[in-house]
């Protein structure tokens, strides 16, 4: 057995304990959602109660079964607002219940009203509904209705209403507490005449408040769910992140990674909140069910010629709306899209979120036209409204597929534009945009339509790194056939495998080592021999290198020499200078010399010659 350092073993055990604890916590939370469950309509082709209590519903109308938000067939009911509903018994709980909860997963139009879950008055009256543009949870205390409300928005929503006697009622939307209202009643109002139903307010004298929309699931509990349970329940099963690695169950399954292992995930699925591959439809492939609604745009071939795999936009009315896309600017975010532009005469919007015209209050990706404007022509603009970042002029081309990506890091304010995997512009900015939803192919107010084709639109709730942007570009740039060919024969496309790369480097090293002179390099022995030759050159001709040996005449290095004219005489004075590099005989052993030389006239020639003097005694004449 290998010796394992104690610290490493402890760390390993700690990780194991943490994983077991997380798995246990998830299992316990899942089990707790079965506690107190009185009624559960999954609407999988019927109105059977799957809680085991046998409170099966009766289809009235009847509603039709339709695909749910993950496109599972016959997994939700569609009600037309004209008399369709599901009735069930009023005995799910009594008027003196201490607490209860309603849950429903619905797809609604906020402009319409209707009952979602109505608990009849025979045994305590309560309602979860949409009315006057608001989601509402309300209970009848006998003297008054108590309400908790919140403005409704379109698309799929998870609604939870909780009641706790003598405490409060709460309304939760998509896992977030939206309103809490205090109550002091002792029990719910109980009377005859009103009956329990999904999708209507049913009375013995007639039904009304019919719901118009899709209901995916309904649950009733005889207790108040806690916040952790509500958050888990509010996320569709495919969108749950079991191992908390930032990638939901649906994407992990699609990517082939392990949804129960936090170290197993595709980084390009991390933080993905909506993904539109446009493979035959505008459905969201992120697992969150944020499907797009197509208006007039038509399917066309994509960049690798796959049919019905992109959307073509040819008129001002062509667009794809995404009602349930979350607000992007509440976090860091990234928007990615492949585009094929066919017109450069006007502004052209790839995406728009928000309607406000206040500065920094909108998020847009749009192309600037080729005609003169205050901005770079034929560029991509990453806009926050009156605060725009642009690529260079003429960086956006016509009649070819291009990959454009825009990212924003809310922690630093860094805003960046990438084209085909490479950064082309960045700045520091901010955004206060508060809108939700969004539109692909034009602005939300129907201005400046995009003309051309759009494919593979992605939205992330984080800012992708530069390496991830390049990885995303290369992962989407080729067809599966091209990717296979690239892997099997990379050199044919100008790419090489890691093994080929390493071999080529080794061959280069061998070339240099075998013939260094061809690369202006020398071996160690050649280098050492050249140094020796240089030393010999200096010794043989030292003066050629500004050096002197011990026999050289050191004219100016011997000392100071002065010649003075005194009448017809020349007085020569020599003050010797002894240094380590001059031999004593040439400096008179340090003794000064003064000689007077008689000159034949006013002019003469004096020759001074230094020569060694054999002994330090006496004063040698100067010649």
Number of other CB atoms surrounding residue 493 within 10 Å: 11
At residue 42, does pLDDT exceed 80? yes
Mean pLDDT of 498-502: 75
Write down the CATH number for the domain with range 36-234. Answer: 2.60.120.200
Is beta strand 380-383 parallel, antiparallel or unpaired with respect to 439-440? unpaired
Mean pLDDT is lowest, of 21-25, 473-477, 607-611, for: 21-25
Q: Which of 273, 206, 234 is nearest to 104 (CA)?
A: 234
Could you report the per-residue pLDDT of 219-277, keeping only the tens digit for each?
Answer: 999 999 999 899 888 877 677 787 889 999 889 989 999 988 999 999 999 999 999 99
Domains of the chain, residue spans: 1-32, 36-234, 271-477, 553-623
The structure tokens listed for 192 are 């005859």
pLDDT score recorded for residue 480: 62
Question: Which positions ≥6 away from 202 have C-beta within 8 Å?
Answer: 85, 87, 118, 120, 194, 195, 196
Q: What is the pLDDT of residue 7?
A: 35
Report residue 168's pLDDT band, with 50, 70 and 90 as the boundaries: very high
Q: What is the pLDDT of residue 590?
A: 61
Q: Which residues of 367-400 are buried (b: 16+ CB within 10 A; e: fewer)?
A: bbbbeeeeebbbbbbbbbbebbbbbeeebbeeee
The whole-angstrom separation of Cα 43 and Cα 78 is: 10
The residue ranking higher by pLDDT, 512 or 618, is 512
pLDDT computed for residue 13 by the predictor: 32
Closest to 295 measured CA to CA, from 320, 268, 329 = 320
Query: Beta partners for 140?
Result: 145
CB 85 within 8 A of CB 211: yes
- How many Cβ atoms are within 10 Å of 514's Cβ, its own excluded? 8
Provide the b/e sequence for 85-101 (b: ≥16 CB within 10 Å): bbbbbbebbebebebbb
- Which of the four pLDDT bands, split at 50, 70 and 90, describes residue 389? very high
Q: Which CATH number fits domain 271-477: 3.40.50.11740, 2.30.140.10, 3.40.50.970, 2.60.120.200?
A: 2.60.120.200
Across the chain, what does the average pLDDT equal?
83
| Rounded CA separation 322/239 (Å) | 18
pLDDT in the model for residue 238: 73
The residues, ordered by sequence, that sit 6+ positions from 249 with a Cβ below 8 Å of its Cβ are: 237, 238, 239, 240, 241, 242, 259, 287
**In the numeric block, which tokens belong to residue 200?**
């209507």
- The structure's pTM equals 0.53
Asked if residue 164 has pLDDT above 50, the reply is: yes
Helix, strand, coil distribution of the chain in percent, nearest 5 = 20, 30, 45
pLDDT at residue 592 in the model: 74
Task: Please name the residues in contact with 296: beta carbons below 8 A apart, sequence gap of 6 or more.
Answer: 315, 317, 318, 319
Instruction: Specify whether the CB–CB gap between 561 and 588 falls below 8 A.
Output: no
Contact 548, 558 (CB under 8 A): no
Cα 299 to chain centroid, rounded: 29
Q: Are 373 and 367 within 8 A, CB to CB?
A: no
Specify whether the CB–CB gap between 425 and 389 falls below 8 A: yes
The helix/strand/coil state of 210 is coil
């Amino acid at each position: 057995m290998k010796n394992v350092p104690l610290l490493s073993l402890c760390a390993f055990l700690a990780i194991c304990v943490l994983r077991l604890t997380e798995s246990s916590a998830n299992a316990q939370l899942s089990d707790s959602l079965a506690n107190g469950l009185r009624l559960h309509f999954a609407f999988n082709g019927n109105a059977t109660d799957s809680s085991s209590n046998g409170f099966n519903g009766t289809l009235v109308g009847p509603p039709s079964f339709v695909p749910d938000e993950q496109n599972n067939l016959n997994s939700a009911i569609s009600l037309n607002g004209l008399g369709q509903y599901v009735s069930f018994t009023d005995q799910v709980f009594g008027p003196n219940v201490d607490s209860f909860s309603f849950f429903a997963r619905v797809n609604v139009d906020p402009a319409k009203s209707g009952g979602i879950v109505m608990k009849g008055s025979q045994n305590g009256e309560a309602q979860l509904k949409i009315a006057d543009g608001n989601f509402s949870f309300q209970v009848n205390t006998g003297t008054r209705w108590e309400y908790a409300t919140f403005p409704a928005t379109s698309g799929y929503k998870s609604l939870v209403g909780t009641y706790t006697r003598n405490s409060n009622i709460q309304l939760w939307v998509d896992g977030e507490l939206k309103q809490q209202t205090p109550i002091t009643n002792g029990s719910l109002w109980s009377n005859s005449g009103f009956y329990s139903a999904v999708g209507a307010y049913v009375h013995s004298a007639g039904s009304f408040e019919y719901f118009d929309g899709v209901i995916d699931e309904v649950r009733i509990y005889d207790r108040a769910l806690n916040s952790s349970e509500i958050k888990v329940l509010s996320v569709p099963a495919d969108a749950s992140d079991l191992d908390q690695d930032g990638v939901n169950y649906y994407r992990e399954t699609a990517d082939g990674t392990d949804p129960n292992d936090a170290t197993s995930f595709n980084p390009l699925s991390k933080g993905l909140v909506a993904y539109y591959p446009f493979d035959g439809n505008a459905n969201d492939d992120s697992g969150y069910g944020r499907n797009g609604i197509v208006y007039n745009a038509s399917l066309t071939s994509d960049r690798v010629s796959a049919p019905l795999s992109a959307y073509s936009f040819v008129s001002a009315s062509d667009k794809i709306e995404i009602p349930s896309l979350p607000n992007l600017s509440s976090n860091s975010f990234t928007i990615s899209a492949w585009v094929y532009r066919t017109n450069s005469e006007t502004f052209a919007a790839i995406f728009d979120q928000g309607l406000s015209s206040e500065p920094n209050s909108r998020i847009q990706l749009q192309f600037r036209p080729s005609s003169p404007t205050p901005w770079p022509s034929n560029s991509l603009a990453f806009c926050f409204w009156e605060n725009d970042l642009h690529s260079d002029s003429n960086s956006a081309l016509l009649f070819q597929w291009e990959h454009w990506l825009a990212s924003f890091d809310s922690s630093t304010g860094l805003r960046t534009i990438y084209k085909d995997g490479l950064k082309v512009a960045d700045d520091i900015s901010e955004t206060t945009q508060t809108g939700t939803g969004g539109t692909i192919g034009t602005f939300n107010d129907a201005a400046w339509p995009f003309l051309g084709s759009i494919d593979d639109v992605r939205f992330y709730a984080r800012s992708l790194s530069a390496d991830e942007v390049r990885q995303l570009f290369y992962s989407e740039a080729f067809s599966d056939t091209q990717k296979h060919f690239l892997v099997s024969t990379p050199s044919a496309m100008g790419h090489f495998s890691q093994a080929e790369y390493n071999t080529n480097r080794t061959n280069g090293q061998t070339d240099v080592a075998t013939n260094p002179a061809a690369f202006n390099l020398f071996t160690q022995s050649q280098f050492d021999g050249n140094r020796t030759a240089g030393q010999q050159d200096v010794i043989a001709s030292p003066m050629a290198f500004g050096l002197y040996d011990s026999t050289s005449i050191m004219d100016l290095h011997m000392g100071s020499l002065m010649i003075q004219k005194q009448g017809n005489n020349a007085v020569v004075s020599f003050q010797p200078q002894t240094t380590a590099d001059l031999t004593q005989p040439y400096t008179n052993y340090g003794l000064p010399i003064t000689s007077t030389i008689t000159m034949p006239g006013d002019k003469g020639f004096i020759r001074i010659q230094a020569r060694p003097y054999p002994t330090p005694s006496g004063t040698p004449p100067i010649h």
